[in-house]
Chain A
Amino acid sequence: MSIWGGPVGLGMRRLIFDEMTCSDGGARLAYRQISEWLKWSTLERLRQSATEAEVLFRRLGITFVVYGDEDGTERLIPFDIIPRVFSAAEWKRLSDGTIQRVRALNMFLHDVYHGQNVIRAGIVPDDLILANAQYQPQMQGLDVRGGTYTHVAGIDIVRVKEDEIYVLEDNLRSPSGVAYMLENRQVMMRLFPELFSEMRVAPVDHYPDVLLRTLRDVAPPGADEPTVVLLTPGASNSAYYEHAFLADEMGIELVEGADLFVADGAVFMRTTEGPKRVDVIYRRIDDDFIDPLAFRRDSMLGVPGLLSVYRAGRVTIANAMGTGVADDKSVYPYVPEMVRFYLGEEPILQNVPTYVLRNADDLAYALEHLDELVVKEVHGSGGYGMLVGPASTKAERQAFRAKILDNPSNYVAQPTLALSTCPTLVEQGIAPRHVDLRPYVLSGETITVMPGGLTRVALNEGSLVVNSSQGGGTKDTWVLEE
Chain B
Amino acid sequence: MLSRTADQLYWMARYVERAENIARILDVSYRMSLMPGDSSEGDSIWASAVQIGGNWNEFNGRYGTINRHNVIHYLALDEDNPSSIFTCVHGARENARALRGSITTEMWESLNATWIELRDIDVEGLAHASYQDFFDWVKERSHLFQGVIDGTLLRDESYHFIRLGGSIERADNTARLLDGKYHVLLPRIEDVGGVLDYYQWGAVLRSVSAFRSYHRIYRNVIMPDRVAELLILRADMPRSLHACFDHITETLDELCGLRMYECRRLAGEVHARMHFGRMSSIFESGLHEFLTEFLESHGQFAVQMQRDFLMIT
Contacts and interface: CB of A to CB of B under 8 A. Distances in A.
Interface of A: 62-64, 67, 71-72, 234-235, 244, 247-248, 253-256, 258-259, 269-275
B255 A272 contact: yes
Given A244-B100, A244-B101, A270-B311, A72 B3 contact: no
Contact of A256 (B4, B115, B161): B4
Interface residues of B, number: 19
Contacts of A63: 100-101, 105
B233 to A, nearest CB: 32
Main secondary structure of the interface of A (DSSP, over half): mixed
A269 B6 CA distance: 13
25 contacts: A63-B100, A63-B105, A64-B100, A67-B97, A67-B100, A67-B112, A72-B115, A235-B97, A235-B98, A248-B101, A253-B2, A254-B101, A255-B2, A255-B4, A259-B2, A259-B3, A269-B2, A270-B2, A270-B3, A270-B310, A270-B311, A271-B2, A272-B2, A272-B161, A272-B310
Contacts of B112: 67, 72
Nearest to B93: A72
B134 interface: no
A248 B311 CA distance: 23
A255 to B, nearest CB: 6
Interface string B1-31: 1111010000000000000000000000000
Nearest to A268: B311
B309 interface: yes
Interface in B73-115: 97-98, 100-101, 105, 112, 115
B116 A71 contact: yes
B157 interface: yes
Nearest to A258: B4
A71 B115 CA distance: 8
Nearest to A69: B97
A247 B4 CA distance: 16
A72 B116 contact: yes
Contacts of B311: 270-271, 274-275
A62 B3 contact: no
Nearest to A253: B2
Given A71-B116, A72-B116, A272 B101 contact: no
B132 to A, nearest CB: 27
A181 to B, nearest CB: 20
Interface in B126-179: 157, 161
Contacts of A235: 97-98
Nearest to A261: B311
B100 to A, nearest CB: 6
A272 B112 CA distance: 27
B1 A271 contact: yes
Contacts of A244: 100-101
Contact of B4 (A64, A67, A248, A259): A259
A275 to B, nearest CB: 8
Contacts of B310: 270, 272
* A64, A254, A271 interface centre (most CB from chain B within 10 Å): A271
Contacts of B309: 272
Contact of B6 (A248, A272, A274): A272
Contacts of A72: 97, 112, 115-116
Contacts of A248: 101
Contacts of A258: 4
* B3, B6, B310 interface centre (most CB from chain A within 10 Å): B3
* A64, A258, A273 interface centre (most CB from chain B within 10 Å): A273
A39 B24 CA distance: 64
* B100, B116, B310 interface centre (most CB from chain A within 10 Å): B100
A271 B310 CA distance: 7
Contacts of B97: 67, 72, 235
Given A256-B4, A259-B3, 15 more contacts: A62-B105, A63-B100, A64-B101, A72-B112, A72-B116, A244-B100, A248-B101, A258-B4, A259-B4, A269-B2, A270-B2, A271-B2, A272-B2, A272-B255, A273-B1
A386 B255 CA distance: 57
B228 to A, nearest CB: 36
A257 to B, nearest CB: 10
Contact of A247 (B101, B105, B116, B157): B101
A253 B255 CA distance: 19
Contacts of B4: 255-256, 258-259, 270
A466 B255 CA distance: 50
A275 B157 CA distance: 17
Nearest to B6: A272
B89 to A, nearest CB: 13
A261 to B, nearest CB: 9
A256 B2 CA distance: 10
